[in-house]
Chains A and B, each alone.
Chain A
Amino acid sequence: MLTKRIIPCLDIKDGRTVKGTNFIALRDAGDPVELAMRYCEEGADELVFLDITATTEKRKTLAKLVREIATHINIPFTVGGGIHTIEDVSLLLEHGADKISINTSAVNNPILIDQLSRNFGSQCIVVAVDTKRINNRWTVVTHGGRNPTDRITSEWAKEITARGAGEILLTSMENDGTKSGFAIDITNEIATSVSIPVIASGGAGTMEHFSAIFQHGKADAALAASIFHFKEIHIPDLKNYLFENKIPVRC
C-alpha cells in the first residue's frame, strides 16, 4: 500500500538551516547536510530544502549545497527558492536535486509550469502555494504572506494541475509557525479536487496534528520544520503513532 509521507523541511539561509515564525525572526537550527543525514537515518520519507532568502533578495539557490546534499542522502529531495527559469531548474537537477519547487515565479508567470513540466517531466515539478484567508476566502499570497494576489486558492490549484505540475505543496500562512495544527479545511478542499498529490504544510505542533491532516485533510504528505529540528517530535515516534492510528506509513 502506498504510504503517507513525512517530510522535514530545511529552510536555508546563507548555507545554514533556519526556522522562524511566519518566515521572520529567524533562529539558527544547524548544518543542513548534517540535519538531512539525521532525518534519513530516522526514516524521513523525503526532504525539502527552501532557500528562503532567494525570492526576496533575488539570489539563486546554491547549487553547491545541492550537490553536497545529493552525495550524502539516499532519499528523494526537493529544492526551492528563487527559481525563475528553465536554466535554474537544469542547474539544480544536474547537481542532484530530484524535484524543484516554484512559488512566486509560478504565480507571476504561470506558463513556466507548462514549460518546466514539458522539459523535465511533471514528476519533478512541485508548485508551492502559500495561502491565507482574506475576506473569508482562501487566497494565494506570495513573499512569505506579505503580498496578497487576486487568485482564489482552489482555482489556482486546478490551474497548476492542468498546466502539468506533479505535486502541490500547500502552506497555510495563518497556521505556519503557530504549532496549532494544519489547515484541515483548505487542505481537504484541494486534495479532493485535484488529481495530483498534495503536501500539507504549516502549523504542525503535535502528533495528533499529523493524523488529523491525513485522516480529515486527505493530504498525501505532511511537511514540518521546527518540531523536527528542535527534536520536539522524533520521526520514529511519529511513525509509530500514525501506524497505531491505522494510517499507512513506512516504518
Chain B
Amino acid sequence: MSNVTMKVNGKPVSGDVEGRTLLVDFLRGPLGLTGTHVGCDTSQCGACVVHVNGEAVKACAMFALEAEGAEVRTIEGMAEADGSLGTIQAAFQEHHGLQCGFCTPGMVMSAAALLKDNPKPSEAEIREYLEGNICRCTGYHNIVKAILAASGQDVPAIAAE
C-alpha cells in the first residue's frame, strides 16, 4: 500500500492504494464518485473518461498512483458552483444526447476536453474526437447535436418538434 494525494474536483483527497489500483477504482470506491463508469475494462469504451491536469484520459487505463499530485476532474465536478448544469451538461439534456445514460459521463468529459482545445468544432471534428467513446443507444446523432449546441453553433431542428 502506498499513499496517494491528489485534487479531485477541486478538493484535496488522499488514500492508501495498491500499485495496481486503477484511478477509476480509487474514484468509485474510496471516493464514492460513481458517476465515472466502467464499461469495458479494456480502455476502449470511454465510459470512464475523466480529466487529469486538464486532459481527457481513460481512468481504467491509469493507475491511481500515476495521478499523484494531479488535478482530477470527474463528471461530479462539471456542474456550476450553484449546482446548475454546465453548458455541456445542459446541452446533452436538452438535445436528448443520452438514453441509458451509462456512456454519458464519459461523453460529457470528452466533449469538454474537445471544446477546451477547439471551441467551435465542425461536425466532422466532433465525430473524430469521439472515436474512443462508445454509445450503444443513441446512434450518436443527438450527441453530436448536443456538442454543437454546447459550442454555441446552430443545430438542425429535431424533425418532429
Q: Do A and B come from one complex?
A: no
